[in-house]
Amino acid sequence: MNKNLKRVIWAVLILGLVAMAIFAWFVYSAVLAPNTAFENKEAHVYIPTHATFADVMEELRPLLKDDISFEAVANRKGYPAHIKPGHYVIKNGMNNNDIINTIRINNIPVQVKYNNQERLEDLAGTVARQIEADSVSLLKAMLDREFLSENGLNQDTALCIFLPNTYELYWNTTAIEFCDRMKTEYDRFWNDSRIKKAKAIGLSPEQVISLAAIVQKETAKVDERPRVAGLYINRIKKGMLLQADPTVIYAKKKAENDFDQVIKRVLYRDLELDSPYNTYKYTGVPPGPITMPDMSSINAVLNHEDHDYIFMVADVSNPGYHKFAKSLAQHNRNRAEYVRWINGQGVNR
């Protein structure tokens, strides 16, 4: 073998090694090298339903050091044809391969929380800030006639099935899927034991929740709620009007379609408002809840305190609590004390 041939062979070998080194460097830098540009431990990525690869890149680009290498690897792995909507968590230090595998298969549930919503509109807005579905589609699903009919509900009782809690859901849950899931949770909550307790006091589950909503509005003191619930159950058993001020406030807001107004004092003229929610005019539980009661209020109704009280008024000497009475005479004395106090506070509305 002459010297020139040897030189050629060595040159080819060297070029081959260089090419292999370049290829190895490319593979490492494009596929295996860390490619995150954020400082926190992780970043949350939300890929909408029907997103294009361009949409995904718009979401990811601020998180990447090198978006060009990411696109190359994504195309190589066929990701643009298999985009999945959802919520994904990108860890700091991930490489392109890790990132693509994550957004392809690792849809992480989100924690959806709500409580004490006064209307379905409020609930829809609260939930829409936590999942992909917007408030319009959520409200439409909540009021869907077929959904309500199938579940024995109407527009007044629709709020009943949404029990305040924290739920684990996929971010891309649709409005219909959300309502179906909440109905499942509602049915799970109303087990045989709770249904038996509701029947014992002569109320349906929806009526229990509607009464619990009044209890919720009457007192913020959780330890007082069973006593307040017991008072209203006593009035129901006696066929008395509930005469709950929060129902009058709700009826007034509903009649005026203004739920943002703040009403601190119920006036005598308000008691004449002709509304099925006005418990100064109509006996029994209102046709639906005036707010979303929390679990403590629902349980307060189901496990109400057994007593003989049928009257109550705010206790000015113990803020947040009430004075209870078994007779009208005692109640009038308690009420006079409250009226003197509130007049002294200058609260006219």
Domain range list for the chain: 25-105, 110-189, 192-345
DSSP tally for the chain: helices H, then strands E: 14, 6
- What local confidence, expressed as pLDDT, does residue 305 receive? 97
Beta bridge partners of 112: 167
Query: Is pLDDT above 50 for 21?
Result: no
> What topology does CATH give the domain 25-105?
Dna Ligase; domain 1 (3.30.1490)
- pTM of the shown model: 0.86
Query: Is pLDDT above 90 for 200?
Result: yes
pLDDT in tens, 140-163: 999 999 999 999 999 999 999 999
pLDDT category at 340 given cuts 50, 70, 90 is confident
pLDDT in tens, 281-319: 999 999 999 999 999 999 999 999 999 999 999 998 899
Query: Is pLDDT above 80 for 68?
Result: yes
277 in Cβ contact with 290 (< 8 Å)? yes
What DSSP element (H or E) covers 323? strand 322-325
- Please provide the average confidence, as pLDDT, over all residues in the chain: 91
| Dihedral sign from CA coordinates of 34, 37, 41, 44 | negative
CA gap 95, 337 in Å, rounded: 71
Residue the block writes with tokens 């100064």: 280
Give the number of other Cβ atoms within 10 Å of residue 120's Cβ. 18
CA gap 126, 133 in Å, rounded: 11
89 in Cβ contact with 82 (< 8 Å)? no
- What local confidence, expressed as pLDDT, does residue 24 receive? 43
CA gap 173, 243 in Å, rounded: 41
Nearest to 180 by CA among 150, 157, 204: 150
Contacts of 106 (CB under 8 A, 6+ apart): 88, 89
Q: Looking at residues 84-110, what average pLDDT do you find?
A: 97
pLDDT in tens, 184-199: 999 999 999 999 999 9
